[in-house]
Amino acid sequence: MLDTAEGYVTEDGRKIGGVVMEMKNITLRFGGVVAIQDISFDIRQGEIRAIIGPNGAGKSSMLNVISGFYNPQEGEVWYQGAKRPAMKPYEVAQQGIARTFQNIALFEGMSVLDNVMTGRIRQMSAGMVAQAIWKGKAEREEIKNREAVEKVIDFLEIQSIRKTPVGRLPYGLKKRVELARALAAEPSILLLDEPMAGMNVEEKEDMSRFILDVNDEFGTTIALIEHDMGVVMDLSDRVVVMDYGKKIGDGSPDEVRGNQAVIDAYLGVAHD
Amino acid sequence: MNQSLEAAEGLGSVPALLQRNATRFGGKPAYREKEYGIWQSWTWAETAAEIEALALGLINLGVNEGDFIAVIGRNRPYFYWAIVAAQSVGAVPVPLYQDASADEMAYVMEHCGARFAIVQDQEQVDKIIEIQDGLHQFEHMIYIDPRGMRKYDHHKLHEFSHIQQQGRAARDEFITDLQARRGKLNYDSICVMLYTSGTTGKPKGVVLSNRNIIEASKSSSGFDTLGPGEEVLAYLPMAWVGDFIFSIGQAYWCGFCVNCPESPETMMTDLREIGPTYYFAPPRVFETQLTNVMIRMEDAGRFKKWLFDRFMAHARKVGPAVLDGKSVGVWDRLKYMLGNILVYGPLKNTLGLSRVRVGYTAGEAIGPEIFEFYRSLGINLKQLYGQTEASVFITLQPDGEVRNDTVGVPAPGVELRIAENGEVFYRSPGTFEYYYKNETSTKDTKDTEGWVATGDAGFIDEDTGHLRIIDRAKDVGKMASGALFAPKYVENKLKFFPNILEAVVFGAGREECVAFINIDLTAVGNWAERNNIGYASYQELAGHPQVLKAIRAHVDEVNRSVAQDPMLSGCQIHRFVVLHKELDADDGEMTRTRKVRRRIVEEKYSDLLSALYDGLDEIFTTTEVTYEDGRKGAISATLKIVDAAVLPVPEHKVAAE
């Protein structure tokens, strides 16, 4: 078992710290449907943690629990060494947890720049009147935030679409803009819900590169859900496998790959 | 003499010009680069300081006089500084194409024996690490963008800004050494070594001295009265001689500002924001811009389309005359002015060409319609003819004497001579010193009197005194009948159609000419969309019967026009095939500057070629392709062979002796 307090060093020399978030015996029900059943796992500082599983396994529900969108009926979420009370998503965001969505939730009519700027909402404090007059504090704030946003735009190489309305962009780029918006919030934990869904090979490679770069450059902890096994196994440090709301595996990509329960869940077994 | 005068003024090198500009234009911007969404700028004084810091850092790193330093990256101020810093310490900068494959890079780095390389980012660093073991002289690498570089072994790898910091810290220690090294530079010292892309064989290192670069810059700046107020956009490959002359030679001679785009993709936006006054683009860029305009006009409303068509027709009629200052009727002039308000002005603004005072195109022939289009808008677009070995300029078109089919009069200081076989020779102060480590080629190209063979066949137009280029001298051949065969002449006519991106014509020693054709995916794709033709890939679109029909119509039209020329009427195309893939530099079918490598194409597609001559209706073929990351794959297709209409060749065969 891993030590809770101390971290470990990955093969490529990245230092993974202690546990920052821990799920303890989470159970989530929708009426009679049990979406998540008694699941526990942890996320460590600086690691890339994947949650995988077949369709309907409860992966997105799990991510929604982390982001505060669902509050589980049973179990506890521990964040930075303290138990987290039931929270609204915006409160979770204020704690430094940002996310992207499976089915892209951007403002289609707004430019890429404006969309990414909305990620900075947490860093803005000027009042509505000040914002409207746009002098003094509001102006200074905007300049500061714009600078941060431009660094993200530069980082994700989307300079050429800065002023383009999001609605006109192809799918792969929209995904990147969503990542940009999440990054603009300077999160300590980044949740990615199927960042590569629907992408072609080249777009997947680009996205993988960016995820690794984000983790490497900013030391951001990343939890991601992904279907593409190749991508997951290459990217992540540790993988949680879910099936029918239950955890059936947890460990390094190699451990998970050799786990019989996981193989059965993915390849299917004959039911007698 | 001019040369000694320059030497007396102490302006015998690019670093010396930098010192002059730092004093004379100290507060004026020398470089701008768009980064983080705004234009960052550096004055000449700041530039001199940045370059000095880097130069000191290079001395600190152990750069000796005469060392070669490879510079690999896209147009950014840092790379221009790197070039001048290398010159300042007595080293020779060697800019390389950043999209070159590892093999191509390995060859060049080994050939010049570079000890150092200054590169853009992780991608380039990885590429050099891959080839490093084969380069026995190579020592240190400097990179600009630190992203993703943290985990690399930094014993022989340095960040650009750190080298500058070390240079600043060691200023007291090395400044006298730097001044001494800078002081030694003169007209004879090497300014830069540029590798020619080489349509045949291995690239050759062209050594250009300070004399070559400064004299060529001085006389060409004088020719177009370029001054310190110009703005240029540096977006063409730094390894190409043109960029070196425009962004370093002329920029340092005149003291004007070089603007670097944010990224290659934002180039058009940045062009619009800067509004250059002096602009160079290869015909391909103008072609793409025009195609985009036309596509957008097709999608525009009916009124706008009508307005555009009407005023463009008027512009074609009187625009060039207005531009050349010839007399135009009052009514026509008024109408042109109205058109300028309604159509030409806004269009020029959209293209980013509102402020262009001098515009040039070169490298390939430009389609007459494309050329006329820009000129009729009032953009002073001209042609020039040049090559690396001449420090660009051989001939230039003077204002008011612009023609589509010539390349102009000899540039100031250039002498021209046409050899017996039609090959063009020149001699000028810009003529290169020698090919590095290649005496044989030097002797073959440059004779003892300094005359250089261009490898192009051409003649001087008797009426105007302008040079007209027909084709590469070695490509001009004879057909079996003895008729003159000039493939480029026909290919250019084909390429003037927006639907045709590339064409390769064969026929030397044969009875008939045949052609390979690449369609232009943007133009044909848009046409397909408007006509509800579905396609999944380039290959599918290229093989579509209606596309073939359209291309056939173009070929027929070219044949009609070729038949008009008594000398070249034998070059009509009898059969052609639309290739299933685009010719690509990654596959070695083109050079990095996108010139077709005829021999390689001929060899690679020999099955298609024999099918064309055997009179087959279709052929199945498999072709190997190389992806950008170096992996290989194969695509196969069944290609239709299309017959074109050929006009009878008149009996009086001129070239048949």
Q: Which residues of A touch B262 (CB under 8 A)?
A: 159-160
Flag whether B430 is in a domain. Answer: no
Burial class (CB in 10 A: 0-12, 13-18, 19+), B420: exposed
- Report d(CA B437, CA A175) in Å as an integer: 51
With b meaning 16 or more CB within 10 Å and e meaning fewer, what string describes A237-247?
bbbbbbbebbb
- Report d(CA A170, CA B108) in Å as an integer: 39
> Are residues B78 and B144 in contact, defined by beta-carbon separation less than 8 angstroms?
yes
Domain boundary among B280, B303, B338: B280
pLDDT at B7: 47
pLDDT, tens only, A53-104: 888 889 999 999 999 899 999 999 999 888 998 888 888 888 899 999 888 8
Beta bridge partners of B119: B72, B143
Write the CB contacts of A237 (distance below 8 Å, at least 6 apart in sequence): A10, A16, A44, A47, A48, A49, A252
Q: By the CB < 8 Å criterion, does A151 face chain B? A: yes
pLDDT > 70 in chain B, percent: 96
Beta bridge partners of B459: B468
Residue B94 phi/psi, 5-degree rounding, is -130, 90
Residue B556 phi/psi, 5-degree rounding, is -60, -40
Taking an 8 Å cut-off on Cβ atoms, the answer to whether A159 and B150 are in contact is: no
Q: Looking at chain B, which residue has its C-alpha nearest residue A149?
A: B36
Residue B368 phi/psi, 5-degree rounding, is -55, -35
Task: Answer whether residue B96 shows pLDDT above 90.
Answer: yes
Q: Which CATH architecture has domain A1-96+189-272?
A: 3-Layer(aba) Sandwich (3.40)
**Partner-chain residue, chosen from B148, B265, B269, that has the shortest CB–CB distance to A216:** B148
pLDDT at B340: 94
Token code pair at residue B414: 């250039």
SS (H, E, C) chain A: CCCCCCCEECCCCCEECCEEEEEEEEEEEECCEEEEEEEEEEEECCCEEEEECCCCCCHHHHHHHHCCCCCCCEEEEEECCEECCCCCHHHHHHCCEEECCCCCCCCCCCEHHHHHHHCCHHHCCCCHHHHHHCCCHHHHHHHHHHHHHHHHHHHCCCHHHCCCEHHHCCHHHHHHHHHHHHHHCCCCEEEEECCCCCCCHHHHHHHHHHHHHHHHHHCCEEEEECCCHHHHHHHCCEEEEEECCEEEEEECHHHHHCCHHHHHHHHCCCCC
Q: Which residues of B touch A213 (CB under 8 A)?
A: 147-148
Beta bridge partners of B278: B358
Mean pLDDT for the stretch of residues B418-444: 91
Q: By the CB < 8 Å criterion, does B331 face chain A? A: no
pLDDT at B447: 92
Give the best-scoring range by mean pLDDT among A218-232, B65-79, B575-589, B638-652: B65-79
β-pairing, B38-43 vs B500-506, is: unpaired
pLDDT, tens only, B461-474: 878 889 988 788 88
**Partner-chain residue, chosen from A159, A162, A216, that has the shortest CB–CB distance to B150:** A216
DSSP for B535-552, please give it: -SSHHHHHT-HHHHHHHH
Best residue of B33, B34, B35, B36 to probe chain A, by most A CBs closer than 10 Å: B36
pLDDT at B200: 60
Q: By the CB < 8 Å criterion, does A157 face chain B? A: yes
Token code pair at residue B188: 């004879």
Domain boundary among B280, B308, B338: B280
Cα of first residue to Cα of last residue in chain A, in angstroms, is 35
**Lowest mean pLDDT across B165-169, B194-198, B268-272, B643-647:** B194-198
pLDDT, tens only, B109-125: 999 999 999 999 998 99
Domain ranges in chain A? 1-96+189-272, 109-186
- pLDDT classification of B367: cutoffs 50, 70, 90: confident
Q: Which residues of B touch A12 (CB under 8 A)?
A: 151
Task: Answer whether residue B344 shows pLDDT above 80.
Answer: yes
CATH number at B211 reads 3.40.50.12780
Q: Looking at chain A, which residue has its C-alpha nearest residue B628?
A: A202
Q: Which residues of A touch B263 (CB under 8 A)?
A: 157, 159-160
Query: How many domains would you assign to chain B?
Result: 2
Low-confidence stretches of chain A (pLDDT < 50) are: 1-3
pLDDT at B611: 92
DSSP 8-state secondary structure symbol assigned to residue B388: G
Q: By the CB < 8 Å criterion, does B36 face chain A? A: yes
Q: By the CB < 8 Å criterion, does B652 face chain A? A: no
Q: By the CB < 8 Å criterion, does B147 face chain A? A: yes
Distance from CA of B148 to the nearest CA of A (A): 6
Q: Which residues of B touch A154 (CB under 8 A)?
A: 35-36
pLDDT, tens only, B480-501: 887 878 888 889 889 888 899 9
Flag whether B457 is in a domain. Answer: no
Beta bridge partners of B456: B472
Flag whether B307 is in a domain. Answer: no
**Partner-chain residue, chosen from B35, B147, B263, that has the shortest CB–CB distance to A160:** B263
Give the number of other Cβ atoms within 10 Å of residue B431's Cβ.
Answer: 24
Domain boundary among B219, B251, B280: B280
In B213-281, beta strands by DSSP E: 231-233, 257-260, 278-280
DSSP for B451-491, please give it: -EEEEEEEEE-TTT--EEEEEETTT-EE-TTS-EE-HHHHH
**Partner-chain residue, chosen from A147, A150, A213, that has the shortest CB–CB distance to B148:** A213
- Report d(CA B516, CA B634) in Å as an integer: 19
pLDDT at A270: 67
Task: Answer whether residue B654 shows pLDDT above 60.
Answer: no
- Report d(CA B337, CA B329) in Å as an integer: 12
Give residue B555's domain range: 477-654
Token code pair at residue B398: 């003077």
Write the CB contacts of A30 (distance below 8 Å, at least 6 apart in sequence): none
Report ipTM for this prediction.
Answer: 0.81
CA dihedral sign of residues B592, B594, B595, B600: positive
pLDDT > 70 in chain A, percent: 96
Mean pLDDT for the stretch of residues B253-279: 95
